[in-house]
Amino acid sequence: MDRPYNTLFMLSSLDGKISTGDVDTLDTDLDFKRIHGIKEGVKQYYDLEKTTDFYSLNSGKVMAKIGANVRTTEPKKIQCNFIIIDNKPHLDDKGTEYMAKWVKTLYLVTTNKNHPAYKLKEKYPNIEIIYYENSVDLSDMFSKMKKMFGAKRITIQSGGTLNAEFLRQGFIDEVSIVIAPCLIGGNNTQSLIGGESLHNEEDLLKIKSLELVKSTTLENSYIHLIYKVINETKLDKKSL
């Protein structure tokens, strides 16, 4: 395989929501710690997170949502490398600098030549920029991460829209999900896999079946599920 082995690792409600609402001020990382019946067991997710891969992939939007742009305290350096896809950009100067100070190496993937990472790169040599002219080529990005930067395994923790892109293009090999004991709901609240809905019979080939690898009942009614993703979808002819 000419790309890393990719694991989607997320915290989700039972109904598949990875956010507590449809605005940036609502977020599971912040809100689950406040809700009785959920807060008691949420630490188990963060304990598992510490055991994930040394390369973590996320989006600038998620990093901004969890407060990277407004952090005022000096971050404690970690030995994890972050791959951040950020085109808008969602990370401003302060957010990009915070990330560079925080992680071992910041791999900034962007189509924006004016991203703050460019002017910060001289000050922070641990910033690596992967630039694409029009749109991010995910296949090329993953190939570069393995061949140029030695990433053999990547943990993906991005939002539902980007997760859908990875899944549809066959870039997720394993799913590791911690299910929190709650139901959130909401048509516009982000789900584990978002993106565009399927529209026709041919689109059924985009559905990925899963093979259960491990199921662990955690404390406080939490569950940890690990699945292997079957990326080659086969479809029987429609029966009449």
Residue-wise pLDDT for 56-96, tens only, equals 999 999 999 999 999 999 999 999 999 999 999 999 999 99
pLDDT at 117 over 80: yes
pLDDT at 240 over 80: no
Q: Where are the domains of the chain?
A: 5-230
CA–CA distance, 49 with 46 (Å, rounded to integer): 5
| Confidence grade of residue 97 (pLDDT, cut at 50, 70, 90) | very high
* Mean pLDDT in residue range 114-134: 97
CA–CA distance, 75 with 164 (Å, rounded to integer): 31
CA–CA distance, 54 with 81 (Å, rounded to integer): 6
Instruction: For the chain, give the number of residues.
Output: 240
pLDDT at 99: 98
* Mean pLDDT in residue range 134-148: 98
Of 103, 225, 142, 136, nearest to 176 by C-alpha is 225
Tokens of 48: 């598992």
pLDDT at 105 over 70: yes
pLDDT at 71: 94
Q: CATH topology for 5-230?
A: Dihydrofolate Reductase, subunit A (3.40.430)
Bin 170: left if φ > 0, else alpha if -120 < ψ < 50, else beta: left
pLDDT at 161 over 70: yes
| Confidence grade of residue 1 (pLDDT, cut at 50, 70, 90) | confident
pLDDT at 237: 87
Query: For the residues of 43-63, what is the DSSP string, one character each?
Result: HHHHHHHTTS-SEEEEEHHHH
* Mean pLDDT in residue range 8-21: 98
pLDDT at 24: 87
pLDDT at 239 over 80: no
pLDDT at 138 over 80: yes
| Confidence grade of residue 112 (pLDDT, cut at 50, 70, 90) | very high
Name the residue type at position 121. Answer: K
Name the residue type at position 18. Answer: I
| Confidence grade of residue 7 (pLDDT, cut at 50, 70, 90) | very high
| % pLDDT > 70, the chain | 100
